[in-house]
Amino acid sequence: MRPLILLDVDGPLSPWAAPRHAKPAGYVEHQLKVSRWGRRKLKMWLNPGHGPALLALAGSADAELVWATTWEHQANTLMGPAIGLPRLRVVEFPGEPAEWKFPAVARFAAGRPLAWFDDDFDTFPQARRGFVARRGDLSTELIAVNPRTGLTTEHFDALESWLRGLKTDRPDVGSPES
């Protein structure tokens, strides 16, 4: 099965906790129209280089990029175009999950290796440990992102290293014959 690369928006792609006077390098301010906000617009920093970099890494290992954000389908219309991502599948989070995103991601990613960028893995540490334990031998890379910086070179390096490890474990991943 194709590996998954899961993307959260707030924190990894939009460094919401960065000081307002110190926009991280490479980020561009966007004013996004959010339907439920009426005329008010959401100011969000996004890095247009992230989309092509994520697409290249996913392509190198025939991995599938998927939104794993509480923005759900709005990520395809608001954030994806701003960073050059095509429409992606979405992990849906119905209601307020008692254990955050872990149950929905577990259902969505059943049987598939995954790397996941998020800034909130420590919100529910017991649920995180249970999630990883239940995945057993499936390769699972939780890449914690500081919401003050968003994705950095180190995060992309971690993803690339994980993808290389998958190729070692699964010679068919990324090969021309697959």
Query: 175 in a domain, yes or no?
Result: no
Query: 174 in a domain, yes or no?
Result: no
Q: What is the mean pLDDT of residues 149-167?
A: 94
**What's the pTM value of the predicted model, to 2 decimals?**
0.89
Phi-psi region of 67 (alpha: psi -120 to 50; beta: other; left: phi over 0): beta
Q: What is the mean pLDDT of residues 74-102?
A: 89
For 44, which DSSP code? Answer: E
Query: 155 in a domain, yes or no?
Result: yes
Least confident of 16-20, 34-38, 165-169: 34-38
The closest alpha carbon to 64, from 138, 176, 163, belongs to 163
The closest alpha carbon to 147, from 41, 32, 36, 15, belongs to 15
pLDDT higher than 60, residue 55: yes
Query: 45 in a domain, yes or no?
Result: yes
Q: In what order do the strands lie in the sheet with 4-7?
A: 89-90, 64-67, 4-7, 114-118, 140-144
Residue 168, pLDDT score:
67
Number of domains in the chain: 1
Name the residue range of residue 89's domain.
4-169
**Helix H or strand E segment including 108:** helix 102-108
The HSE-up count of residue 146 (CA atoms within 13 Å, CB side) is 8
Query: 176 in a domain, yes or no?
Result: no
